[in-house]
Structure 1
Amino acid sequence: MDSVIYTIGHSIHSIEAFIGLLKAAGVNAVADVRSTPYSRYQPQFNKEVLSGSLGQAGIEYVFLGDELGGRSPDKNDFENGRVVYQRLKQRPEFDLGIERIILGSQKYELALLCTEKEPLECHRTLLVSQALAEKGVLITHIHGDASLEMHDAAIQRLLKMHKIEEEDLFRSYEDQVSDAILRQERKIAYTSKNPDTDRNVEDSQGAA
């Protein structure tokens, strides 16, 4: 599988700067994986506004937050008020979303969009990109300064961040990566006092 899928966080960019980052990477389609595609503080990234701006720049837009978002309307996907990524991965909708991304990447230069600037602080990396990488998809993260980081390099940063040694007699590399992702997930995954009712505000605590 030779196609590359990009990821990007809109952060506090102007729409012009954001589109510039996409154009610099050659992206011509965006898949929005925010659970709720609206922001109190960055209205230029509200779904309808963003879709129009991207369209004017010749970039396609699709919303896949229902399938690949970092939140859930199902209280069974939460533990102690925090969403559990492994449970999101087990939802049939997640598999459908992943397949749509893979199919889309065969036609477009595709970027996954979420909110956070830092890839390692976002479910687009820990959940969606990792699921794609496990299927052999090449992932590249677009940073705010237009630099590019391969997913494997981001995972290496994550291992170092959590002081997990690469060489371990008793654990495989895959087990170490899973451990690092789980530790980071516990730091950044969406938390909710009421997972049944608060899906409608993007700027709540935790990754979108």
Structure 2
Amino acid sequence: MKNTIFSVGHSNLAWEHFRSLIEAPDVGVVLDVRSTPRSRLHHFNKPELRYRLNSIGVSYLHLGDQLGGRPASGAADYETMAATAPFLDGIAQVLEIAGRCRPALMCAEHEALECHRCLLVARHLVERHGVHVVHIQRDGKIEPHEDTEDRLLAKWGGGGDLFRSRAERLAVAYRLQARKMGVGK
């Protein structure tokens, strides 16, 4: 899976389970896209997570200031956030890193469709840069982003509209999913 960017949610996983999820595809760096890199599970707090990852030969980089789903000020609106300079700088960092090693975007939610790492970051990487993104499921299965988008379309009833392109139907489904999560207009 050369030139692939992975996506993973730590959820409430035990450390060993999470470790197995990132070791199986040989992830070289975890790109933490949480706005606030803390968790009620100690092993997912930034300092402890960095230490544990480094001890197994995986690098750690916090990009939540650029790619987090909760802006420091104002309400979250993924479409607006995707056009900001900090977000675009963060995307540039991800692309540069992906040219050197195998990165995994990490956030808290295990379900990609319930997380900005899919609805904001992965969407941008796929649509604007043609990147191959895959989501690591909690059972270890790998779901290509296109399949995740198929689930999104099915969820919002966008699969049967013959008068709109797939891209148009996806734009509506992304917007509806973000609203369901309390994001956007």
* Bin for the TM-score computed over the shorter chain: over 0.9
User: How many residues are aligned here?
Assistant: 182
1:185 correspondence with 2:178: yes
Deviation (angstroms), 1:167: 4.5
Distance in structure 1 (CA, Å) of the matches to 2:105 and 2:181: 18
Aligned counterpart for 1:152 among listed residues 133, 146, 149:
146
User: Secondary structure in 1 aligned to 2:104?
Assistant: strand
Deviation (angstroms), 1:63: 0.3
Aligned Cα root-mean-square deviation (Å)? 1.3
1:99 correspondence with 2:72: no
* Structure 1: tracts of 5 or more residues without a match: 192-208
1:54 correspondence with 2:53: yes
* Structure 2: tracts of 5 or more residues without a match: none
Q: Deviations over 1:90-130 (max 9, x none)?
A: 21000000000001001111000000010110000000000
Equivalence for 1:115: 108
1:165 correspondence with 2:177: no
Distance 1:112 1:189, change over 3 A: farther
Equivalence for 1:24: 24
Give matches, 1:197-208, under 5 Å. Answer: none
User: Secondary structure in 2 aligned to 1:104?
Assistant: helix
Deviation >4 Å, runs of 4+: none
TM-score by structure 1 length? 0.84
Contact 2:38 2:44 in 1 (8 A): yes
Distance in structure 1 (CA, Å) of the matches to 2:93 and 2:162: 36
Distance in structure 1 (CA, Å) of the matches to 2:64 and 2:182: 15
User: Secondary structure in 1 aligned to 2:35?
Assistant: coil
Equivalence for 1:71: 70
Distance in structure 2 (CA, Å) of the matches to 1:188 and 1:26: 31
User: Secondary structure in 2 aligned to 1:112?
Assistant: strand
Contact 2:53 2:59 in 1 (8 A): yes
Q: Deviations over 1:175-204 (max 9, x none)?
A: 10000000000112469xxxxxxxxxxxxx
Distance in structure 2 (CA, Å) of the matches to 1:38 and 1:87: 25
